Amino acid sequence: MPVPLLDVNAQNHPLHDGFTAAFERVFKTGHFIMGEEIAGFEREVQPLTGASHALSVSSGTDAILLALMALEVGPGDEVLCPAFTFFATAGCVSRVGATPIFVDVLPDTFNIDIADARAKVTSKTKAIIPVHLFGQCANMEAVMEFANEHLLHVIEDAAQAIGASRHGTLAGSIGHFGCYSFFPSKNLGGLGDGGLLVTNDGDLALRAKSLRNHGMEPKYYHSHIGGNFRMDALQAAFLRVKLPHYAGYTKQRQVNAAFYQEQLSKLPGTAFSSQPADAKLLLPYCEEGNQHIWNQFTLRVPGGRRDALKQHLLDLKIGCEIYYPVTLDQQACFAHLPESSLRGCEVSHQLAEEVLSIPIYSELTESQKTEVVAAIAAFLN
């Protein structure tokens, strides 16, 4: 039986009637921009963020962009962000005219290494963007201590981590801003693009709210230059259909991850990532105090055998993907940046050679999961 890396409609089809009703509701009112659906969604999603102000936006990328704009990050400023993440994290920094400075990540959690951030902070550094990669929180105690020492703004890129927590505090609610994505492959996936920006700071919330709609206040009067970063009312209505099921989706991903961890760790040659790396296959693990929501279940295959495992799984019709094959400091679009932006990301480079993500989505069946484990066992033999 083929096992896709992700099957978004396995989750959406059972909610077909709910989506149809949501469409009819919005269609009848004709309120396609802002209005009650947006207000309702923002109210209902807020508890998943733990922050006091939640603003729906057009995408996760736009949430990061809007956060940088609201904090007035711009030309001459440097922003620290991990080298091993999705492009949007750093792309937004360049789009506001600031300079991304790439920070290495930790090999066990894939998250930002604050020791390396300490080596790269300068008098120009204005902000840091920790990413909660693959659904697990970065070490936010270390991030906040470092940021407070250097008076940096903190923008949490929680695009892959809505509902994840660390020592009981939800991802996105710790820094000045938290950013989330509802891209269909994220844990709370919409029927198209969408995102969310949150903050506990009332003034920042007001500024971001104004910038979301061209800095227009009142109508046709512009004191600031913003953009159109609004979420569609239809998208908000669709996401409201999925929200009540979200805790169940997360639970199922955690069940799947626990199954893989138990089954794969029994195979000879495997170890958890934090252990000495003489193993043939390193398994992802959840750091003490973290609630991991497993947007990805990402293996490390040392010894140059990653591509062979990928091909082996694809031959058996098991979906898998390399997140991410090229680190940000090695992207062509950043090649013009000064050496100080690009140096010292060796762990990120190694991960780009070793990582492979396998199917983890909520609707995987027992037999699909068993098939994935059997395929990996055959490869290791």
Ligand X SMILES: *Cc1c(COP(=O)(O)O)cnc(C)c1O
Interacting residue ranges for ligand X, rule: CB under 6 A: 59-61, 85-86, 88-89, 131, 157, 159-160, 181, 183, 193, 195
Q: In terms of CB distance, is 109 or 368 closer to ligand X?
A: 109
Nearest CB to ligand X, comparing residues 116 and 157: 157
Tokens of 105: 């990540």
Helix (H, G, I), strand (E, B) or coil at 297: strand
Residue matched to tokens 């898998």? 320
With CB atoms as reference, the residue minimizing the distance to ligand X is 60
Nearer to ligand X, 51 or 159 (CB): 159
Nearest-approach distance from CB 274 to ligand X, in angstroms? 22
Name the amino acid, one letter, at 130.
P
Query: Please, which residue, 199 or 270, has the CB nearer to ligand X?
Result: 199
Q: How far is the CB of 191 from ligand X (least distance, A)?
A: 13
Smallest distance from ligand X to CB 275, Å: 26
| Cβ neighbour number for residue 319 with a 10 Å cutoff | 17
Question: What six digits make up the tokens of 260?
Answer: 């893989």
For residue 200, give both structure tokens.
Answer: 């506990």
Read off the tokens for 2: 């083929």
Is residue 210 within 8 A of residue 224, CB to CB? The reply is: yes
46 close to 163: Cβ distance less than 8 angstroms: no
- Backbone torsions φ then ψ of 44, nearest 5 degrees: -80, -30
User: Please, what is the minimum distance in Å from the beta carbon of residue 95 to ligand X?
Assistant: 12
Find the shortest distance in angstroms from Cβ 133 to ligand X. 7
117 contacts 363 by C-beta, under 8 angstroms: no
Name the minimum Å distance from CB 131 to ligand X: 5
Nearer to ligand X (CB atom), residue 7 or residue 157: 157
Q: Radius of gyration of the chain from Cα atoms?
A: 21
- Rounded to a whole number of angstroms, the minimum distance from the CB of residue 57 to ligand X is 9
CB crowding 129-158: b at 16 or more within 10 Å, else e: bbbbbbbbbbbbebbbebbeeeebbbbbbb
- Distance in Å, CB of 58 to ligand X, minimum: 8
In DSSP terms, 272 is beta-bridged to 283
Q: Which is nearer to ligand X, 61 or 368 (CB)?
A: 61
d(CA 161, CA 322): 19
What are the respective helix, strand and coil percentages of the chain, to the nearest 5?
45, 15, 40
CA distance 6 to 166: 26
For residue 199, the cross-strand partners are 53
Nearer to ligand X, 112 or 358 (CB): 112
Tell me the torsion sign for CA atoms 77, 89, 164, 344.
negative
Closest distance of CB 134 from ligand X, Å:
9
- Contact by Cβ (8 Å): 293, 187: yes
- The nearer residue to ligand X, 91 or 302, going by C-beta atoms, is 91
Provide, rounded to whole angstroms, the least separation between the CB of residue 59 and ligand X: 4
Q: Which helix (H) or strand (E) holds 101?
A: strand 99-103
